[in-house]
Amino acid sequence: MTCKLVLIEGLPGAGKSTHARWASEILAELGLETKLFLEGNLEHPADYDGVACFPEEEYRNLLSDYSTFAPIFEQNSVRRGSHFFLSYRKLREVDGLDFPEELANLMFRNDIYELPFEQNAEWIVQKWTEFAEIAERQEAIYIFECCFIQNPLTVGLVKHNVPKEAIHRYVRRLEQAVQNLNPVVIYVDQEDVDHTFRKAVEERPQTWSEGFIEYYTGQGYGKSCGLTGVDGTIEVLRCKRELALEIVDTLESTKTILNNTAYDSVKGKRKLAEFLSSSVVPHHFREIDSLIKRHSFMDILQSFDPILVGTFPIDIQVQGSDLDIACEVHDFEWFEDLVQRSFGHMDGFTMVRREVGGIERCKVNFRCEGWQVELFAQPVPTRSQNGYRHMMVEARLLKLFGESFKRSVIELKQNGVKTEPAFARLLNLDGDPYSQLLDLETWSDDALLNLLKKSSD
Protein backbone atom coordinates (compact mmCIF):
# COMPACT_ATOMS: atom_id res chain seq x y z
CA MET A 1 0.00 0.00 0.00
CA THR A 2 1.32 3.46 -0.89
CA CYS A 3 2.07 5.82 1.98
CA LYS A 4 0.11 9.07 1.72
CA LEU A 5 0.80 10.56 5.15
CA VAL A 6 4.08 11.35 6.93
CA LEU A 7 3.72 12.45 10.56
CA ILE A 8 6.66 14.32 12.13
CA GLU A 9 6.62 14.45 15.95
CA GLY A 10 8.86 15.67 18.76
CA LEU A 11 9.18 18.19 21.58
CA PRO A 12 9.38 21.96 20.97
CA GLY A 13 12.86 22.77 19.67
CA ALA A 14 13.63 19.16 18.74
CA GLY A 15 13.80 19.90 15.02
CA LYS A 16 10.32 18.86 13.88
CA SER A 17 9.77 21.66 11.38
CA THR A 18 13.28 21.20 9.92
CA HIS A 19 12.69 17.47 9.44
CA ALA A 20 9.26 18.13 7.94
CA ARG A 21 10.78 20.49 5.37
CA TRP A 22 13.55 18.00 4.64
CA ALA A 23 10.96 15.26 4.10
CA SER A 24 9.12 17.44 1.60
CA GLU A 25 12.37 18.26 -0.24
CA ILE A 26 13.56 14.64 -0.33
CA LEU A 27 10.30 13.34 -1.77
CA ALA A 28 9.88 16.27 -4.17
CA GLU A 29 13.37 15.63 -5.59
CA LEU A 30 12.12 12.19 -6.56
CA GLY A 31 9.22 13.78 -8.42
CA LEU A 32 6.62 12.89 -5.79
CA GLU A 33 3.88 15.40 -5.07
CA THR A 34 3.90 16.52 -1.44
CA LYS A 35 1.69 18.79 0.65
CA LEU A 36 3.48 20.15 3.70
CA PHE A 37 1.59 21.50 6.71
CA LEU A 38 3.71 22.89 9.53
CA GLU A 39 2.49 23.61 13.04
CA GLY A 40 0.23 26.66 13.10
CA ASN A 41 -0.96 26.41 9.48
CA LEU A 42 -4.42 27.97 9.49
CA GLU A 43 -5.42 25.92 6.42
CA HIS A 44 -4.57 22.57 7.99
CA PRO A 45 -6.78 19.85 6.45
CA ALA A 46 -6.90 17.60 9.53
CA ASP A 47 -6.51 19.91 12.50
CA TYR A 48 -8.07 23.04 13.94
CA ASP A 49 -5.81 26.00 14.67
CA GLY A 50 -7.41 29.18 15.89
CA VAL A 51 -10.93 27.81 15.45
CA ALA A 52 -13.72 28.43 17.97
CA CYS A 53 -16.53 25.93 18.46
CA PHE A 54 -20.02 27.17 19.36
CA PRO A 55 -23.21 25.17 20.03
CA GLU A 56 -25.96 26.45 17.76
CA GLU A 57 -27.72 28.61 20.39
CA GLU A 58 -24.47 30.26 21.45
CA TYR A 59 -23.56 30.85 17.81
CA ARG A 60 -26.90 32.54 17.13
CA ASN A 61 -26.36 34.72 20.21
CA LEU A 62 -22.88 35.58 18.94
CA LEU A 63 -24.30 36.78 15.61
CA SER A 64 -26.95 38.79 17.43
CA ASP A 65 -24.65 40.33 20.05
CA TYR A 66 -21.99 41.25 17.49
CA SER A 67 -24.19 41.97 14.49
CA THR A 68 -21.52 44.14 12.87
CA PHE A 69 -19.38 41.04 12.43
CA ALA A 70 -22.25 38.67 11.61
CA PRO A 71 -21.85 38.60 7.79
CA ILE A 72 -18.12 37.85 7.91
CA PHE A 73 -18.61 35.31 10.71
CA GLU A 74 -21.15 33.45 8.64
CA GLN A 75 -18.79 33.42 5.65
CA ASN A 76 -16.00 31.92 7.76
CA SER A 77 -17.99 29.36 9.73
CA VAL A 78 -18.65 25.69 9.05
CA ARG A 79 -21.60 23.82 10.52
CA ARG A 80 -21.05 20.32 11.89
CA GLY A 81 -24.21 18.84 13.34
CA SER A 82 -25.49 21.25 15.98
CA HIS A 83 -22.18 23.15 16.29
CA PHE A 84 -20.53 25.93 14.32
CA PHE A 85 -16.78 26.26 13.80
CA LEU A 86 -15.46 29.78 13.29
CA SER A 87 -11.91 30.42 12.02
CA TYR A 88 -11.37 33.46 14.22
CA ARG A 89 -7.56 33.48 14.13
CA LYS A 90 -7.54 33.55 10.34
CA LEU A 91 -9.93 36.52 10.41
CA ARG A 92 -7.61 38.32 12.79
CA GLU A 93 -4.16 37.43 11.43
CA VAL A 94 -4.83 37.04 7.70
CA ASP A 95 -7.81 39.31 7.07
CA GLY A 96 -6.76 41.90 9.66
CA LEU A 97 -10.06 41.95 11.53
CA ASP A 98 -9.80 43.78 14.86
CA PHE A 99 -11.97 42.21 17.58
CA PRO A 100 -12.96 44.10 20.73
CA GLU A 101 -11.35 42.56 23.81
CA GLU A 102 -14.56 40.97 25.09
CA LEU A 103 -15.17 39.26 21.73
CA ALA A 104 -11.54 38.13 21.46
CA ASN A 105 -11.80 36.54 24.93
CA LEU A 106 -15.04 34.81 23.96
CA MET A 107 -13.39 33.34 20.85
CA PHE A 108 -10.45 32.07 22.86
CA ARG A 109 -12.66 30.48 25.53
CA ASN A 110 -14.44 28.52 22.80
CA ASP A 111 -11.27 27.49 20.98
CA ILE A 112 -11.18 23.79 20.09
CA TYR A 113 -8.11 23.36 22.27
CA GLU A 114 -9.80 25.05 25.26
CA LEU A 115 -12.64 22.51 25.28
CA PRO A 116 -12.80 19.64 27.79
CA PHE A 117 -10.53 16.76 26.81
CA GLU A 118 -13.22 14.36 25.58
CA GLN A 119 -14.95 17.03 23.47
CA ASN A 120 -11.67 18.05 21.93
CA ALA A 121 -10.88 14.43 21.06
CA GLU A 122 -14.28 13.87 19.43
CA TRP A 123 -14.03 16.89 17.16
CA ILE A 124 -10.40 16.28 16.21
CA VAL A 125 -10.97 12.60 15.41
CA GLN A 126 -13.93 13.57 13.22
CA LYS A 127 -11.76 16.08 11.34
CA TRP A 128 -9.01 13.47 10.79
CA THR A 129 -11.57 10.97 9.52
CA GLU A 130 -12.92 13.47 6.98
CA PHE A 131 -9.40 14.36 5.88
CA ALA A 132 -8.49 10.69 5.34
CA GLU A 133 -11.50 10.14 3.08
CA ILE A 134 -10.34 13.01 0.84
CA ALA A 135 -6.61 12.22 0.92
CA GLU A 136 -7.19 8.58 0.01
CA ARG A 137 -8.47 9.67 -3.40
CA GLN A 138 -5.44 11.90 -4.08
CA GLU A 139 -1.91 11.13 -5.24
CA ALA A 140 -0.16 13.60 -2.94
CA ILE A 141 1.82 12.59 0.13
CA TYR A 142 0.78 14.79 3.06
CA ILE A 143 3.40 15.79 5.62
CA PHE A 144 2.13 16.96 9.01
CA GLU A 145 4.26 18.44 11.75
CA CYS A 146 3.30 18.00 15.39
CA CYS A 147 -0.47 17.39 15.42
CA PHE A 148 -0.65 13.59 15.70
CA ILE A 149 0.96 12.88 19.10
CA GLN A 150 1.98 16.27 20.47
CA ASN A 151 -1.45 17.89 20.31
CA PRO A 152 -3.21 15.06 22.19
CA LEU A 153 -0.35 15.10 24.70
CA THR A 154 -0.57 18.85 25.14
CA VAL A 155 -4.32 18.95 25.65
CA GLY A 156 -4.37 15.72 27.64
CA LEU A 157 -1.29 16.03 29.88
CA VAL A 158 -0.31 19.69 29.93
CA LYS A 159 -3.78 21.21 29.99
CA HIS A 160 -6.07 18.67 31.67
CA ASN A 161 -3.73 16.08 33.25
CA VAL A 162 -6.01 13.19 32.28
CA PRO A 163 -4.87 9.59 32.85
CA LYS A 164 -2.26 8.56 30.30
CA GLU A 165 -4.50 5.71 29.12
CA ALA A 166 -6.95 8.33 27.84
CA ILE A 167 -4.19 9.99 25.81
CA HIS A 168 -3.15 6.60 24.39
CA ARG A 169 -6.78 6.01 23.31
CA TYR A 170 -6.93 9.45 21.68
CA VAL A 171 -3.84 8.81 19.56
CA ARG A 172 -4.99 5.28 18.66
CA ARG A 173 -8.26 6.75 17.37
CA LEU A 174 -6.33 9.20 15.19
CA GLU A 175 -4.18 6.35 13.90
CA GLN A 176 -7.26 4.29 13.06
CA ALA A 177 -8.85 7.28 11.31
CA VAL A 178 -5.96 7.49 8.81
CA GLN A 179 -4.95 3.83 8.57
CA ASN A 180 -5.98 3.64 4.88
CA LEU A 181 -3.34 6.29 4.14
CA ASN A 182 -0.65 3.87 5.34
CA PRO A 183 0.90 6.57 7.57
CA VAL A 184 4.48 6.58 8.82
CA VAL A 185 5.47 8.28 12.06
CA ILE A 186 8.84 9.96 12.59
CA TYR A 187 9.67 10.99 16.15
CA VAL A 188 12.50 13.52 16.27
CA ASP A 189 14.06 12.90 19.66
CA GLN A 190 16.16 15.12 21.88
CA GLU A 191 17.59 13.19 24.82
CA ASP A 192 18.76 16.35 26.62
CA VAL A 193 15.41 18.03 27.31
CA ASP A 194 17.00 20.63 29.56
CA HIS A 195 19.41 21.82 26.84
CA THR A 196 16.73 21.69 24.15
CA PHE A 197 14.28 23.93 26.00
CA ARG A 198 16.88 26.39 27.26
CA LYS A 199 18.19 26.66 23.69
CA ALA A 200 14.65 27.41 22.46
CA VAL A 201 14.23 30.07 25.17
CA GLU A 202 17.46 31.77 24.08
CA GLU A 203 16.58 31.70 20.39
CA ARG A 204 12.92 32.73 20.54
CA PRO A 205 11.22 35.97 21.65
CA GLN A 206 10.71 36.47 25.37
CA THR A 207 6.94 36.65 24.88
CA TRP A 208 7.06 33.10 23.48
CA SER A 209 8.94 31.66 26.46
CA GLU A 210 6.79 33.50 29.00
CA GLY A 211 3.59 32.25 27.39
CA PHE A 212 4.98 28.74 27.01
CA ILE A 213 6.09 28.52 30.66
CA GLU A 214 2.75 29.82 31.91
CA TYR A 215 0.87 27.30 29.73
CA TYR A 216 3.03 24.35 30.84
CA THR A 217 3.12 25.12 34.57
CA GLY A 218 -0.10 27.05 35.23
CA GLN A 219 -2.54 24.21 34.55
CA GLY A 220 -2.88 20.46 34.26
CA TYR A 221 0.14 18.32 35.13
CA GLY A 222 2.47 21.21 35.93
CA LYS A 223 0.04 22.87 38.36
CA SER A 224 -0.86 19.58 40.06
CA CYS A 225 2.84 18.92 40.71
CA GLY A 226 3.56 22.48 41.89
CA LEU A 227 6.03 23.11 39.06
CA THR A 228 7.05 26.67 38.14
CA GLY A 229 9.43 28.60 35.92
CA VAL A 230 11.91 27.22 33.41
CA ASP A 231 12.89 24.29 35.63
CA GLY A 232 9.27 23.31 36.14
CA THR A 233 8.56 23.53 32.43
CA ILE A 234 11.50 21.23 31.72
CA GLU A 235 10.04 18.66 34.15
CA VAL A 236 6.71 18.75 32.27
CA LEU A 237 8.57 18.34 28.98
CA ARG A 238 10.48 15.34 30.34
CA CYS A 239 7.19 13.71 31.30
CA LYS A 240 5.75 14.58 27.91
CA ARG A 241 8.73 13.03 26.10
CA GLU A 242 8.50 9.85 28.16
CA LEU A 243 4.80 9.45 27.36
CA ALA A 244 5.34 10.28 23.68
CA LEU A 245 7.95 7.54 23.37
CA GLU A 246 5.54 5.11 25.07
CA ILE A 247 2.88 6.00 22.51
CA VAL A 248 5.27 5.65 19.56
CA ASP A 249 6.21 2.19 20.80
CA THR A 250 2.56 1.06 20.77
CA LEU A 251 1.69 2.36 17.29
CA GLU A 252 0.76 -0.15 14.60
CA SER A 253 1.94 2.19 11.85
CA THR A 254 5.47 2.13 10.47
CA LYS A 255 7.54 4.35 12.75
CA THR A 256 11.07 5.40 13.60
CA ILE A 257 12.85 7.47 16.23
CA LEU A 258 15.52 9.80 14.85
CA ASN A 259 17.98 11.00 17.48
CA ASN A 260 18.62 14.70 16.86
CA THR A 261 20.39 15.45 20.15
CA ALA A 262 23.56 16.59 18.34
CA TYR A 263 21.65 18.80 15.85
CA ASP A 264 23.81 17.31 13.06
CA SER A 265 21.98 18.46 9.93
CA VAL A 266 24.03 16.35 7.49
CA LYS A 267 23.61 13.12 9.42
CA GLY A 268 20.02 13.96 10.31
CA LYS A 269 18.92 14.53 6.74
CA ARG A 270 20.71 11.39 5.58
CA LYS A 271 18.99 9.26 8.24
CA LEU A 272 15.64 10.77 7.30
CA ALA A 273 16.23 10.07 3.60
CA GLU A 274 17.13 6.47 4.38
CA PHE A 275 13.91 5.97 6.33
CA LEU A 276 11.75 7.64 3.70
CA SER A 277 13.38 5.55 0.97
CA SER A 278 12.48 2.32 2.73
CA SER A 279 9.02 3.23 4.00
CA VAL A 280 7.50 6.00 1.86
CA VAL A 281 9.11 5.90 -1.58
CA PRO A 282 6.96 3.73 -3.91
CA HIS A 283 8.27 0.26 -4.71
CA HIS A 284 9.18 1.08 -8.33
CA PHE A 285 11.54 3.75 -6.96
CA ARG A 286 13.39 1.60 -4.49
CA GLU A 287 15.77 -0.14 -6.88
CA ILE A 288 16.90 3.05 -8.58
CA ASP A 289 16.98 4.93 -5.29
CA SER A 290 19.32 2.24 -3.96
CA LEU A 291 21.47 2.51 -7.10
CA ILE A 292 21.68 6.30 -6.78
CA LYS A 293 22.73 6.01 -3.12
CA ARG A 294 25.27 3.21 -3.73
CA HIS A 295 27.10 5.36 -6.25
CA SER A 296 26.54 8.68 -4.40
CA PHE A 297 25.14 10.39 -7.52
CA MET A 298 23.29 13.11 -5.61
CA ASP A 299 26.10 13.63 -3.10
CA ILE A 300 28.66 14.08 -5.89
CA LEU A 301 26.36 16.47 -7.78
CA GLN A 302 24.99 18.30 -4.73
CA SER A 303 26.52 21.65 -5.75
CA PHE A 304 24.35 21.62 -8.88
CA ASP A 305 20.90 21.12 -7.26
CA PRO A 306 20.39 17.71 -8.94
CA ILE A 307 16.85 16.39 -9.45
CA LEU A 308 15.79 13.05 -10.88
CA VAL A 309 13.43 13.82 -13.76
CA GLY A 310 11.93 11.85 -16.63
CA THR A 311 9.82 8.72 -16.51
CA PHE A 312 10.76 7.01 -13.23
CA PRO A 313 9.38 9.64 -10.83
CA ILE A 314 5.98 9.47 -12.57
CA ASP A 315 6.06 5.67 -13.01
CA ILE A 316 5.87 5.41 -16.82
CA GLN A 317 9.33 3.92 -17.34
CA VAL A 318 9.78 1.01 -19.75
CA GLN A 319 12.63 -1.39 -20.44
CA GLY A 320 15.70 0.67 -21.31
CA SER A 321 14.45 3.97 -19.87
CA ASP A 322 17.23 6.34 -18.78
CA LEU A 323 17.77 7.67 -15.29
CA ASP A 324 17.72 11.38 -16.10
CA ILE A 325 19.30 13.79 -13.62
CA ALA A 326 18.95 17.52 -14.25
CA CYS A 327 21.65 19.88 -12.93
CA GLU A 328 22.05 23.64 -12.72
CA VAL A 329 25.58 24.47 -13.90
CA HIS A 330 27.25 27.82 -14.49
CA ASP A 331 30.90 26.75 -14.37
CA PHE A 332 30.99 23.98 -16.99
CA GLU A 333 34.69 23.28 -16.69
CA TRP A 334 34.29 22.56 -12.97
CA PHE A 335 31.24 20.38 -13.67
CA GLU A 336 32.95 18.45 -16.46
CA ASP A 337 36.08 17.88 -14.43
CA LEU A 338 34.04 16.56 -11.48
CA VAL A 339 31.91 14.33 -13.70
CA GLN A 340 34.96 12.97 -15.56
CA ARG A 341 36.71 12.08 -12.28
CA SER A 342 33.56 10.60 -10.72
CA PHE A 343 31.93 8.74 -13.60
CA GLY A 344 34.53 8.60 -16.39
CA HIS A 345 35.29 4.96 -15.57
CA MET A 346 31.67 3.91 -16.18
CA ASP A 347 30.79 1.87 -19.30
CA GLY A 348 29.87 3.89 -22.37
CA PHE A 349 30.89 7.20 -20.81
CA THR A 350 30.41 10.18 -23.15
CA MET A 351 30.25 13.89 -22.48
CA VAL A 352 29.17 16.51 -25.01
CA ARG A 353 28.92 20.27 -24.51
CA ARG A 354 27.22 22.50 -27.05
CA GLU A 355 25.04 25.58 -27.35
CA VAL A 356 21.34 25.34 -28.25
CA GLY A 357 19.15 28.41 -28.61
CA GLY A 358 21.88 30.58 -27.14
CA ILE A 359 22.08 28.48 -23.95
CA GLU A 360 25.09 26.33 -23.21
CA ARG A 361 24.40 22.76 -22.15
CA CYS A 362 26.31 19.61 -21.32
CA LYS A 363 24.98 16.06 -21.69
CA VAL A 364 26.72 13.13 -20.01
CA ASN A 365 25.79 9.50 -20.65
CA PHE A 366 27.05 6.26 -19.12
CA ARG A 367 25.89 2.84 -17.91
CA CYS A 368 25.88 1.90 -14.24
CA GLU A 369 25.03 -1.66 -13.19
CA GLY A 370 23.20 -2.06 -16.47
CA TRP A 371 21.17 1.16 -16.11
CA GLN A 372 21.42 3.96 -18.64
CA VAL A 373 22.18 7.24 -16.86
CA GLU A 374 22.01 10.73 -18.35
CA LEU A 375 23.16 13.93 -16.66
CA PHE A 376 21.83 17.09 -18.26
CA ALA A 377 23.33 20.44 -17.27
CA GLN A 378 22.26 24.00 -18.09
CA PRO A 379 22.87 27.40 -16.46
CA VAL A 380 19.16 27.34 -15.54
CA PRO A 381 17.56 26.41 -12.16
CA THR A 382 16.68 22.73 -12.30
CA ARG A 383 13.00 23.35 -11.59
CA SER A 384 12.87 25.79 -14.51
CA GLN A 385 14.47 23.42 -17.02
CA ASN A 386 12.25 21.83 -19.63
CA GLY A 387 12.98 18.31 -18.39
CA TYR A 388 11.54 19.10 -14.97
CA ARG A 389 8.65 21.13 -16.41
CA HIS A 390 7.72 18.34 -18.84
CA MET A 391 7.70 15.85 -15.98
CA MET A 392 5.42 18.03 -13.85
CA VAL A 393 2.96 18.58 -16.71
CA GLU A 394 2.95 14.86 -17.47
CA ALA A 395 2.43 13.99 -13.80
CA ARG A 396 -0.58 16.29 -13.70
CA LEU A 397 -2.04 14.77 -16.88
CA LEU A 398 -1.58 11.23 -15.57
CA LYS A 399 -3.29 12.11 -12.30
CA LEU A 400 -6.14 13.90 -14.06
CA PHE A 401 -6.74 11.38 -16.85
CA GLY A 402 -6.43 8.18 -14.86
CA GLU A 403 -5.03 4.70 -15.22
CA SER A 404 -6.33 3.99 -18.73
CA PHE A 405 -4.49 7.01 -20.14
CA LYS A 406 -1.33 6.00 -18.27
CA ARG A 407 -1.46 2.50 -19.80
CA SER A 408 -1.83 4.03 -23.27
CA VAL A 409 1.27 6.19 -22.71
CA ILE A 410 3.31 3.18 -21.56
CA GLU A 411 2.11 1.10 -24.52
CA LEU A 412 3.26 3.76 -26.99
CA LYS A 413 6.61 3.97 -25.21
CA GLN A 414 7.00 0.20 -25.38
CA ASN A 415 6.52 0.53 -29.12
CA GLY A 416 9.40 2.98 -29.40
CA VAL A 417 7.62 6.35 -29.09
CA LYS A 418 9.42 8.91 -26.91
CA THR A 419 7.61 10.24 -23.83
CA GLU A 420 6.56 13.72 -24.96
CA PRO A 421 5.52 12.55 -28.46
CA ALA A 422 3.47 9.79 -26.79
CA PHE A 423 1.50 12.33 -24.76
CA ALA A 424 1.11 14.59 -27.79
CA ARG A 425 -0.16 11.73 -29.96
CA LEU A 426 -2.79 10.68 -27.42
CA LEU A 427 -4.00 14.29 -27.10
CA ASN A 428 -3.85 15.06 -30.84
CA LEU A 429 -1.42 17.94 -30.29
CA ASP A 430 -0.03 19.29 -33.56
CA GLY A 431 3.45 20.71 -34.00
CA ASP A 432 6.47 20.21 -31.80
CA PRO A 433 5.34 17.90 -28.94
CA TYR A 434 7.89 19.30 -26.50
CA SER A 435 6.69 22.89 -26.78
CA GLN A 436 3.05 21.81 -27.05
CA LEU A 437 3.25 20.04 -23.70
CA LEU A 438 4.78 23.08 -22.04
CA ASP A 439 1.87 25.16 -23.33
CA LEU A 440 -0.44 23.00 -21.18
CA GLU A 441 1.20 24.19 -17.93
CA THR A 442 -1.26 27.04 -17.52
CA TRP A 443 -4.41 25.18 -18.61
CA SER A 444 -7.16 24.56 -16.06
CA ASP A 445 -8.24 21.02 -15.17
CA ASP A 446 -11.52 21.53 -17.04
CA ALA A 447 -9.68 22.68 -20.17
CA LEU A 448 -7.38 19.65 -20.03
CA LEU A 449 -10.32 17.28 -19.57
CA ASN A 450 -12.04 18.88 -22.55
CA LEU A 451 -8.83 18.38 -24.56
CA LEU A 452 -8.83 14.68 -23.67
CA LYS A 453 -12.51 14.35 -24.58
CA LYS A 454 -11.96 16.07 -27.92
CA SER A 455 -8.97 13.83 -28.70
CA SER A 456 -11.09 10.75 -27.97
CA ASP A 457 -14.00 11.74 -30.24
pLDDT in tens, 303-314: 999 999 999 888
Query: What pLDDT band is residue 293 in, cutting at 50, 70 and 90?
Result: confident
Question: What is the spatial distance between Cα 120 and Cα 155, in angstroms, rounded to a whole number?
Answer: 8
Name the least confident of 114-123, 392-401, 433-442.
392-401
Q: How far apart (Å, rounded) are the C-alpha atoms in residues 54 and 146?
A: 25
- Span 170-179, average pLDDT: 97
pLDDT for 283: 67
pLDDT score of 280:
84
pLDDT at residue 1 greater than cutoff 60: no
Strand order in the sheet with 184-189: 34-37, 141-145, 5-9, 184-189, 254-259
Q: Is pLDDT above 90 for 114?
A: yes
Percent of the chain at pLDDT > 90 equals 82
pLDDT at 255: 95
* Predicted pLDDT of residue 51: 97
pTM (two decimals): 0.70
**Residues 179-195: what's their mean pLDDT?**
95
The dihedral over CA atoms of 147, 150, 156, 159, expressed in degrees to the nearest 10, equals -100
Q: What does the pLDDT read at residue 284?
A: 64
455 has a pLDDT exceeding 80: yes
For the chain, give the number of residues. Answer: 457
Q: Quick one: pLDDT at residue 309?
A: 92
How distant is the alpha carbon of residue 78 from its chain centre? 25
Distances (CA, A) of 425 to 305, 413, 431: 32, 11, 10
Rounded average pLDDT over 159-178: 97
Q: Which amino acid, residue 323?
A: L
Q: Is the pLDDT of residue 133 over 60?
A: yes
Q: Quick one: pLDDT at residue 312?
A: 87
In order of 26, 106, 143, 362, the CA distances from 22 in angstroms are 6, 38, 10, 29
Chain-wide mean pLDDT for the chain?
93
Which residues make Cβ contacts (< 8 Å) with residue 66, sequence separation at least 6? Answer: 73, 103
Residue 229 identity (one-letter amino acid): G
- Each as own residue / partner, the long-range contacts of residues 355-360 (CB below 8 Å, 24 or more positions apart, any chain) are 360/332
How far is 67 from 157, CA to CA, in rounded Å? 38
Q: How confident is the model at residue 171 (pLDDT cuts 50, 70, 90)?
A: very high
Strand 184-189, strand 141-145: pairing: unpaired
Instruction: Note the pLDDT of residue 89.
Output: 94
**For residue 110, what pLDDT is reported?**
97
Q: Give 33's pLDDT tier (boundaries 50, 70, 90).
A: confident
d(CA 107, CA 48): 14
Mean of the pLDDT values across residues 420-440?
94
Mean pLDDT confidence for 82-106: 93
Q: What percent of the chain has pLDDT over 70?
A: 99
Model confidence at 287, pLDDT cuts 50, 70, 90, reads confident
Sign of the dihedral through C-alpha 289, 294, 298, 301? negative
